[in-house]
Structure 1
Amino acid sequence: MQSQPEYCWRDTAVHRLMLTALLNELDASLLSASSATRTLEDWSQRHHLAPNATVRAICQQTPPRPCPAALREALHLPAEAAPDTLRYRHVRLMCGNLTLSDAENWYLPSRLTDEMNKELDTTETPFGRVTAPLAFTRRLVLAERVWSPLPLGWELASLPAGSGQALAFPPVLFRHHAVLSRLDGTPISAVIESYTAGAFCFPPPAMPDAS
């Protein structure tokens, strides 16, 4: 994936501590919100990621893949459900030219309006914005922290000084598996969202002048 902010973040103890705090903040914000799209837009605006901080969904032309068993169960789908019961939408959520997340979505068109289905099929509007009139709720199924700026147990040992060179980010920092439901509790969508370093493409805070 693109959008790795090596231009400003360095392999130093201070920058790794800053990134740990920021990573935890973004992760917690996403976990506590019903809409990842709105959360990412708010983050993008506050951190000036692009002149226009609107998040758009860029559809990826990838073959549909089966919905994982745990998410399929959370959607209350019977094992004998027809293959076309679920529709697959794979997008990258982008702000400007920055990729913020890679999102796989298995949704049930029969539980959405015709207008919503048409917009999902023909536009780059994120799923959360299209279905916002449903006032959906979000239930976490699984959260994965793929990368940490600091090693496990860092708080009990000396912080590594680091090389001072540009910090290399992995393609994915953390991942959420979740189910979206209407207010009556009916599930409408299962998602796997893989969040990238694009959300951290802004200069780190300046250190105070020691003098």
Structure 2
Amino acid sequence: MKHAALAGMVAGMLASAGCSPALERFERTLAARDSATQALGEWCSTRKIAEPPVIRALADRQAGEPASAAVRSALGVGADEPIAFRHVRLTCGDTVLSDAKNWYVPGRLTTAMNATLETSDTPFGKVVAPLGFHRERLEQRRGRAAECPAGTVLSHRAVLKLADGRAISLVVECYTQANLRG
């Protein structure tokens, strides 16, 4: 589905559900991009959340969550394929915009990309942008999904795929109230 059509469909669903205008605009911004990082950067700039509007991924390097059979299936990998996990809080300035869990297939990324993900605060979407991925949304809901912390206003589950259809990542994104302020 084209991004504009998806954004329009999401806007219509949210409007009929009685959502706030800010929540509707935020959801349209997310729906219009394959990269949540890019969408959050645009949102941060438009809403003037921080100057400069730079998105950082504050990684919990101690976090670990094994890939379940469902995660492996969504990624199209067998039981023996290595899966990496990254839990981050995406921020703009000092404002946390998203709490995200990301299971990804290191063997489908470059060595440099894997090193950047393991050692920096660069968001996944920015690191893997040269791969030209697209987002397949599996679930999106207003409010908190089971994996999300309290205060979540939007929850997304998506698979990021290469042009050849191979998945590189399964993400669970939990967007905070801070997105709707201002």
Partner residue in 2 for 1:120: 117
| Unaligned 5+ runs, structure 2 | 1-17, 145-149
**C-alpha deviation, 1:191, in angstroms:** 0.3
Q: Percent identity?
A: 38
Of the structure 1 ranges 111-120 and 62-71, higher mean CA displacement relative to structure 2 is found in 62-71
Partner residue in 1 for 2:101: 104
Give the distance between the partners of 1:29 and 1:74, measured in 2 at CA.
25
Report if aligned partners of 1:71, 1:141 keep a CA contact under 8 Å in 2: no
Report if aligned partners of 2:56, 2:123 keep a CA contact under 8 Å in 1: yes
**Corresponding residue SS for 2:41:** helix
Report if aligned partners of 2:159, 2:171 keep a CA contact under 8 Å in 1: yes
**Corresponding residue SS for 2:159:** strand
Per-residue CA shift, 1:101-160, capped at 9, x if unaligned? 00100011100001101111111000000000001000011112117xxxxxxxxxxxxx
Structural RMSD (CA): 1.7
Aligned to 2:170, which of 168, 178, 190?
Answer: 190
| Unaligned 5+ runs, structure 1 | 1-16, 148-169, 203-211
- Return the TM-score normalized by structure 1: 0.71
Give the distance between the partners of 2:75 and 2:31, measured in 1 at CA.
19
Distance 1:68 1:141, change over 3 A: farther
Aligned residues: 160
- Return the TM-score normalized by structure 2: 0.81
Larger helix percent: 2
Structure number with larger C-alpha Rg: 1
Distance 1:62 1:174, change over 3 A: farther
Matched, 1:43 2:43: yes
Report if aligned partners of 2:56, 2:122 keep a CA contact under 8 Å in 1: yes
Matched, 1:53 2:48: no
